[in-house]
Structure 1
Amino acid sequence: MSLLKVENVGKAFYSYRSEWARFARWFGFRTKASSATWVLKDISFEINKGEAIGIIGVNGAGKSTLLKLITGTLMPSKGRISVNGRISAMLELGMGFNPDLTGRSNVFHAAGMMGFSTDQILQKIDEIEAFAEIGEYFDQSVRMYSSGMQMRVAFAVATAFRPEILIVDEALSVGDAYFQHKSFARIRQFQKEGTTLLIVSHDKSAIQSLCNRAILLNRGEVVKDSNPEEAFDYYNAIIAEKEGQKIEVKQHESGKEQVVSGNGFATVDGIRLLNHKGQEVEVINVGENICLEVKVKVNKVLDSLVLGYGIKDRIGQVIYGTNTYHTKQVLECVNKGALKFNINFIANLGPGSYSIQTALCEGESHMSNSYEWKDLALVFEVINSKEHFVGSNFLPPLIEIEKG
């Protein structure tokens, strides 16, 4: 049995010709709405125990509405949601907190609303106070709290009792880096103990480090349900999508999905990794001097052309990226034809599998007139045959030792 099942769920918000018509609908009278705006359409997916799922998408895609339907704070207009377990959710910062009550009183109120008895809360209250780390403010009015302090107390309450399903909606983006690390450590501990995680975030690294699956929403529909790397590749293409652009998904020889998008005004025509002898290679050594050779075909006269690239690790996180806008090498008034970019660098990377993503655009980022965005443009392997270190990067130190 799945822990959470969403079947053909849709959510519409209705407009009525008058407030009287709206009130009549509330009391069960058959009143026709003047219009309906569907923010979610035929959403279906299942989540099993112990999974970690990221919900991603542009603003307005329907992410927060979906979470409110799952937690029961909104009712679906169509479809069905089945939950088999206790949910703990952080949907809105300090949601349900009374600003005139102290943090301590709000903890009792919030935990009580979650179904816990006074005795259960009393057993956890000291732990909640210690985890929140807001000192004497815990016994002062919430009205005096900063947004970060509200988040600390809200998260401490929501995670005081390990739930079957933990839902977090962007709230952890508020506050200081220290508490974010502390919160993610608790989430990871819950995962080890079997808690299912559902998290909405624009933080790619957070999704990829916590989740084994990502669901991409666009205009109220599920357009991708896959591993986080493939979902974010498609997401990057969507946010740059404009009139005249297209998104193409191919099966890469590595077995992964390759996303290519853009208007095609310029395209990568060839890409190679060369060693210090100018030989094409697919396997390089830690610390080796290499050249990334990128051949570009310009298909239309362009006002400007920028080449960007990123090096991604095996789970799809970009460990380094830049472009010729930031290196102050923008090409102006570019005619149709062929160009070649030689990018030289030292491969101070840890052993493992890596890929290159490329971007051709007009300005600072692929958000401004994307000619082409290509993931998995090149895949290569780094091996270590001589250096002694651990980690994802090779950062050789100069260690000095002094007496006294």
Structure 2
Amino acid sequence: MGSISVQKVSKAYKQYPSRFGRLLEWLAPVPITRHKTKWVLQDVSFDVKQGEAVGIVGINGAGKSTLLKMITGTTQPTSGTIEMTGRLAAMLELGMGFHPDFTGRQNAVMAGQLLGHSIDEINANMNEIESFAEIGDAIDQPVRVYSSGMQMRLAFSVATFRRPDILIIDEALSVGDAYFQHKSFDRIRTFREAGTTLLIVSHDKSSIQAICDRAILLNAGRLMKEGSPEEIFDFYNALLADKEAASVRLTTTSEGKAQTVSGSGEASVAGIRLKDAKGIASEVVDVGSVATLEIDVAVHADIDELVVGYMIKDRLGQPIFGTNTHHLERSATTLRAGDRIRYQFTFPMNLGEGSYSIAIALHAGQSHVGKNYEWRDLAVVFQVVNMSRKKFVGCAWLEPEFNAERY
């Protein structure tokens, strides 16, 4: 079994103004202070139960990597406690524990020992490690000649040749080709189904949503929010766009879901409707039929540019399709306070049956991260049903032209 309990954990480092400040503080005959205390993490508490998968999200410098290093024992907390049960495997840094002058095979043995495996166990499974890593003859070459992708392949193969009770990964899988990323996540899913506890740091929204039960948002060294991956990433995206004193607030939809709304307020969504092929506002749309997303925008201050965009998401919050007027080369310019504009996006609803939502963004530039007037998640929630097409499976309606002939 594998579980993690983090209770009121804080981590501080001493910062000295010069290299002599540390020496002076150590050797002074009377106690003096020449350093400033920098708190990287403060009062972080959460639990990960056996078999649970939890993602950790946050901007660079939020304290994610420091937290994982304390959980794995690489560094110790300044205060608080961390308790774990079960055998742990971790990938905190690319090639962590690898010596550049040793071969991949030699490094595999050393890295495996650091994870608690015996030399005999590692050698007995070396063929499995080589097979999964797929680096060929490079296994007997010095690691210094490896690309970052090859290092990741070998490190992941060593860390996972035996199913651990707890698997911790810090962004390492973002390196390398798409093929090995898919292969790695397949192994992670297999481990999870077998009961492995997962703790993953990633900026990849789709990876967290596909694997994790819940997510944790760290901001400025504090645990800011816990919740479903969709809710946490919506809030995280709002924080990224929170540049010029923009507000981030949470509301609850009529369906009981948490909705994130953010923005500086120069423009806002005054109304939004999804219309069916007959032009009637509807929450139910037929597969393959024509739909129109209608958005009313109110301008509250003079702005040089207004870009309106939308993102269709599935029930798990994973993006299905998104675009905006910048990419369509139809952005509005030189707007004045009091202006009102109605936007209409018409498209075929070539989606599979299921529940979907639409997020709306009003901003300047090509994305809402630069100048965010309003970002509104779950602005529309709708159902796609199959009332007129032949039965099919999947998340997209891709009607084929079929032909068969003897030859």
* TM-score, normalised via structure 2 length: 0.95
Q: Secondary structure at the match of 1:128?
A: helix
In the TM superposition, residue 399 of structure 1 has moved relative to its aligned partner by: 2.0
Structure 1 portions without partners, runs of 5+: none
Q: Summarize the Cα distance change of 1:99–1:354 in structure 2 as closer, same or farther, 3 Å threshold.
A: same
In the TM superposition, residue 123 of structure 1 has moved relative to its aligned partner by: 1.8
Q: How does 1:325-404 map to 2 (within 5 A)?
A: 325-335=326-336, 336-387=338-389, 388-404=391-407
1:196 match = 197
In the TM superposition, residue 227 of structure 1 has moved relative to its aligned partner by: 0.4
Hey, what's the Cα distance between the residues in 1 that align with 2:2 and 2:130?
34
1:176 match = 177
Letter in 1 for 2:70: L
In the TM superposition, residue 18 of structure 1 has moved relative to its aligned partner by: 2.3
Hey, what's the Cα distance between the residues in 1 that align with 2:27 and 2:97?
28
In the TM superposition, residue 31 of structure 1 has moved relative to its aligned partner by: 6.7
Hey, what's the Cα distance between the residues in 1 that align with 2:15 and 2:372?
38
Hey, what's the Cα distance between the residues in 2 that align with 1:106 and 1:24?
41
Hey, what's the Cα distance between the residues in 2 that align with 1:70 and 1:31?
32
1:9 match = 9
More moved, 368-377 vs 117-126: 117-126
2:75 match = 74
Letter in 1 for 2:313: K
1:123 match = 124
In the TM superposition, residue 385 of structure 1 has moved relative to its aligned partner by: 2.0
Contact kept in structure 2, 1:2 and 1:46, CA below 8 Å: no
* Identity rate, percent: 53
Q: Secondary structure at the match of 2:238?
A: helix
In the TM superposition, residue 99 of structure 1 has moved relative to its aligned partner by: 0.9
Per-residue CA distance 1:365-386 (angstroms, 9 max, x = gap): 1112110000011111111123
Per-residue CA distance 1:129-149 (angstroms, 9 max, x = gap): 111111111111111111111
1:280 match = 281
Per-residue CA distance 1:335-365 (angstroms, 9 max, x = gap): 2221101111110011111111000011111
Letter in 2 for 1:316: G
Q: How large is the Cα RMSD of the aligned pairs? A: 1.7
In the TM superposition, residue 171 of structure 1 has moved relative to its aligned partner by: 0.7
Hey, what's the Cα distance between the residues in 2 that align with 1:300 and 1:392?
40
Hey, what's the Cα distance between the residues in 2 that align with 1:152 and 1:340?
51
Hey, what's the Cα distance between the residues in 2 that align with 1:367 and 1:343?
22
Q: Would you say 1:55 and 2:56 are equivalent positions?
A: yes
Q: Secondary structure at the match of 1:112?
A: helix
1:162 match = 163
Contact kept in structure 2, 1:14 and 1:33, CA below 8 Å: no
In the TM superposition, residue 253 of structure 1 has moved relative to its aligned partner by: 1.0
Letter in 2 for 1:83: M
Letter in 2 for 1:48: K
Letter in 2 for 1:10: S
Runs of 4+ in 1 over 3 A off after TM superposition: 21-25, 29-33
2:23 corresponds, among 17, 20, 23, to 20
1:146 match = 147
* TM-score, normalised via structure 1 length: 0.96
Q: How does 1:260-279 map to 2 (within 5 A)?
A: 260-279=261-280
More moved, 258-267 vs 377-386: 377-386
Per-residue CA distance 1:94-130 (angstroms, 9 max, x = gap): 0111111111111111111222112211221111111
Q: Secondary structure at the match of 2:125?
A: helix
In the TM superposition, residue 15 of structure 1 has moved relative to its aligned partner by: 2.1
More moved, 171-180 vs 13-22: 13-22
More moved, 315-324 vs 135-144: 135-144
In the TM superposition, residue 2 of structure 1 has moved relative to its aligned partner by: 7.8
Q: Summarize the Cα distance change of 1:24–1:158 in structure 2 as closer, same or farther, 3 Å threshold.
A: farther
Q: Would you say 1:100 and 2:84 are equivalent positions?
A: no
Hey, what's the Cα distance between the residues in 2 that align with 1:347 and 1:206?
25
Q: Summarize the Cα distance change of 1:68–1:285 in structure 2 as closer, same or farther, 3 Å threshold.
A: same
In the TM superposition, residue 70 of structure 1 has moved relative to its aligned partner by: 0.5
Hey, what's the Cα distance between the residues in 2 that align with 1:99 and 1:31?
42
Q: Secondary structure at the match of 2:366?
A: coil
More moved, 212-221 vs 272-281: 272-281
Q: Summarize the Cα distance change of 1:364–1:130 in structure 2 as closer, same or farther, 3 Å threshold.
A: same
Letter in 1 for 2:126: I
Letter in 2 for 1:282: E
Per-residue CA distance 1:245-268 (angstroms, 9 max, x = gap): 101100111111000000111100
2:211 match = 210
Contact kept in structure 2, 1:24 and 1:31, CA below 8 Å: no
Q: Secondary structure at the match of 1:18?
A: helix
Contact kept in structure 2, 1:361 and 1:369, CA below 8 Å: yes
Letter in 1 for 2:137: E
